[in-house]
């Protein structure tokens, strides 16, 4: 494994289960602090989309080498507030969040070769510091020397409700809510139980339960921690 390159400026990591609000919170915190935002989940989604677009049949994904994943040509381009994900030089955004990708991404992320193929890319994004990185293993594996590590959690039902709201379903029925909760829970189980880089609280991470918090409150809580540690 590549050693964690020491970085120039501060790094804040946000890890946690699906739907805990990591990406939107990380993005808002980065904006407030004038840091860049790295959404590592988008890279695993890009690997999955790249595979779906490739000629490799799904049954063979598990046999791909690190080079096989590297050949998918996933890259990051610096953008105004963070990084744009590219597949073969082409920007991808909403395509990364289709159900076809979401249903398969945890499997792809459980393969050691897939994780190794984008480790260097993620660390390069942190070389100059001033980064807020969100995902599952930001504080444990990718940036173990981060100055501030947050583990974001929220009740499963609350996370399911937030996910449904994101797609415009403001008042789901009990069945819809239960289905969404099951989908998130299945992904969490897979992410926490895999052998490599499982989802877990990093050593030294501060746990923040966002169940009862409004979005602005959770952003403020992390900005306050960053100020208290005088990271700025
Ligand atoms: O936004 P959401 O929580 O639904 O997921 P995401 O952050 O886009 O991540 C999608 C999937 O990628 C996760 O369920 C993990 O399986 C995987 N992932 C990972 O293994 N390691 C990371 N650092 C980030 C994401």
Domain extent at residue 93? 11-218
The CA 106 to ligand 1 mean position distance, Å, reads 7
Residue 1 lies in a domain: no
What's the total number of domains in the chain? Answer: 1
CATH of the domain at 93: 3.40.50.300
Pocket test for ligand 1, best of 105, 132, 149, 193 (most atoms within 8 A of CB): 105
**Ligand 1: nearest atom to the Cα of 97:** 8
Buried b (16+ CB within 10 A) or exposed e, 92-128: beebbeeeebeebbbbbbbbebbbbbbbebbbebbee
Residue 93 has a pLDDT of 96
SS3 223: helix
Residue 64 lies in a domain: yes
- Helix ranges (H only) for 110-173 are 112-125, 156-166
Residue 171 lies in a domain: yes
Residue 232 lies in a domain: no
Residue 8 has a pLDDT of 72
Residue 135 lies in a domain: yes
Considering only CA atoms, which of 145, 117, 141 is closest in space to residue 129?
145
The CA 166 to ligand 1 mean position distance, Å, reads 17
Considering only CA atoms, which of 116, 136, 112, 111 is closest in space to residue 58?
111
Q: Whose CA is nearest to atom 16 of ligand 1?
A: 106
Residue 166 lies in a domain: yes
Residue 2 has a pLDDT of 43
Residue 231 has a pLDDT of 63
Rounded-to-integer distance, Cα 145 and Cα 25, Å:
21
Residue 181 lies in a domain: yes
- Consecutive sets of 10 residues in the chain, 232 residues long: mean pLDDT of each? 61 94 95 96 98 98 98 96 96 96 96 98 95 97 96 95 90 93 93 92 95 94 91 60
Rounded-to-integer distance, Cα 151 and Cα 154, Å:
10
């Amino acid at each position: 494994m590549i050693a964690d390159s020491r970085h120039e400026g501060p790094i804040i990591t946000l890890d946690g289960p699906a739907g805990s609000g990591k990406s939107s919170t990380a993005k808002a915190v980065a904006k407030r602090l004038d840091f860049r935002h790295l959404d590592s989940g988008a890279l695993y989604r890009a690997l999955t989309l790249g595979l779906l677009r490739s000629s490799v049949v799904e049954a063979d994904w598990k046999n791909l080498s690190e080079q096989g994943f590297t050949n998918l040509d996933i890259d990051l381009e610096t953008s105004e507030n963070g990084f744009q994900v590219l597949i073969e030089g082409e920007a991808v955004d909403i395509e990364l969040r289709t159900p076809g990708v979401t249903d398969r991404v945890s499997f792809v992320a459980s393969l050691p070769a897939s994780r190794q193929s984008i480790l260097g890319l993620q660390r390069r994004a942190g070389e100059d510091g001033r980064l807020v990185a969100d995902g599952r293993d930001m504080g444990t594996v990718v940036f173990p020397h981060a100055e501030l590590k947050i583990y974001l959690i929220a009740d499963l039902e609350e996370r399911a409700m937030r996910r449904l709201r994101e797609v415009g379903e403001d008042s789901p029925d009990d069945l819809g809510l239960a289905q969404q909760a099951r989908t998130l829970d299945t992904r969490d189980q897979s992410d926490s139980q895999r052998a490599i880089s499982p989802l877990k609280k990093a050593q030294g991470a501060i746990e923040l339960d966002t169940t009862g918090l409004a979005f602005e409150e959770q952003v403020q809580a992390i900005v306050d921690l960053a100020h208290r540690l005088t990271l700025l």
